[in-house]
A and B are shown apart, each in its own frame.
Chain A
């Protein structure tokens, strides 16, 4: 492992105090801690606002429960390295990062495999929503930073990024909204918290457990991103996708309203 000479380093090795705390084995409660119901399309209230980063072409900030995500969009700017497709279509570049203090255990500065994978998933989810043919020879950069991860980080990152893109005035076919779900046996938990995402099962059986993220183009009713892992039978899986789609539709109005406010704040109504 090469040493990182570009940052101040602490001791060679340090451990999170959580490693020394006796974890009490608790069976997951019947009710969700925040009072939401299992098996219901019950998303946390969302606070969304555009245009907070003055330097960016467009930006958005989303807070849902304790999860906090910020996103900036830069460009269209000149593509750094070009190939034939860049001559006709713009290039979308997505970076997804967790702030070092955003998770229960501190994460490092160097982009992890997980962050790379999530960047890829973010790219795949946003790509279908953009009119990239309007931006030949150019590149649009989307960077997402999770300030606090209390579950469903990728889903909120997708929503946040699409708001930032719309705020930047990038032409889009539709907004892109994200929603996560956690399947626990016969029940599902929509928009799970970090504790719900990571809790150990009550029983050894791993049947029908898993996590899922769906990205939706709400007015075209098209799924632009789907990422799911776990152990799922076909029926619960299909139901979970449907629940996520409904979850996305639930946050559409918040996203719309956020953009309307941003447009009115940024620009006066045109004359004539």
Chain B
């Protein structure tokens, strides 16, 4: 943090002290011009971008009185996607505010299991990490697509496993996000053996510890194996 009333700022190592800018109101007009000079236009929430006749509203925008407004602070991006009108959206480095939505592929960590379901923490939505953990549930019937009635949770997941899953519903007041692993590409991707070593998948339902060679049951996801081999 810097302060304008800063009497003294000093820095211990060779790194330069942070310079302090006081932005006064009078000086701004000229500085605002400089902003527009850059090739990428940056906008703040509430800024009117254009009319709905010129563009279609993309992410990070909203429509009011047939105008498109920015709802995020970020770069204004116009893209032609072969349709009549280009799509205008506001982009930030990452989709930071992303929430798990229906059909999203999420990466999660198993926190506890019982005979009916596994509880997980959702860590990633797609490849975007979530800053806060959201809780989800994988019910017994959503573990795999075949022989649903023969599923035994403890043969599919263990606490601490990293699992790829898909959101099937946001749940209601009582429940958490409901997830499924009933696809070949979904299931356990990282698991540790009893010996604490990361295991190698050997079939769709088994993984093996490279140290003790003990086999353990998991609902294994079919991911390109070279990713998993150290």
Contacts and interface: CB of A to CB of B under 8 A. Distances in A.
State if A and B touch, Cβ cutoff 8 Å. yes
B45 interface: yes
A77 interface: yes
B75 interface: yes
A218 B47 CA distance: 10
B23 A269 contact: no
Nearest to B45: A172
Contact of A253 (B25, B40, B75, B97): B25
A52 to B, nearest CB: 5
Interface stretch (B127-135, B148-156, B181-189): B127-135
B173 A82 contact: yes
A169 B97 contact: yes
Interface string A38-68: 0000010111110010000100010100101
B37 to A, nearest CB: 12
The binding surface of chain B is classed by DSSP as loop
Interface residues of B, number: 48
Nearest to A137: B170
Interface SS, A side: mixed
Contacts of B35: 257, 260
A264 interface: yes
Given A45-B24, A47-B21, A257-B31, A74 B132 contact: yes
Contacts, number: 147
A83 interface: yes
B5 A173 contact: no
B15 interface: no
Interface residues of A, number: 62
A67 to B, nearest CB: 10
Given A167-B73, A253-B28, A254-B25, A259 B99 contact: no
Given A74-B132, A75-B132, A136-B170, A171 B72 contact: yes
Interface of B: 1-5, 21-25, 28-29, 31-32, 35, 39-40, 42, 44-48, 60, 62, 64, 69, 71-75, 77, 91-93, 96-97, 99, 131-135, 170-173
Interface of A: 43, 45-49, 52, 57, 61, 63, 66, 68, 70, 74-78, 82-84, 86-87, 129, 131, 134-138, 166-175, 217-220, 250-251, 253-260, 262-264, 266-270
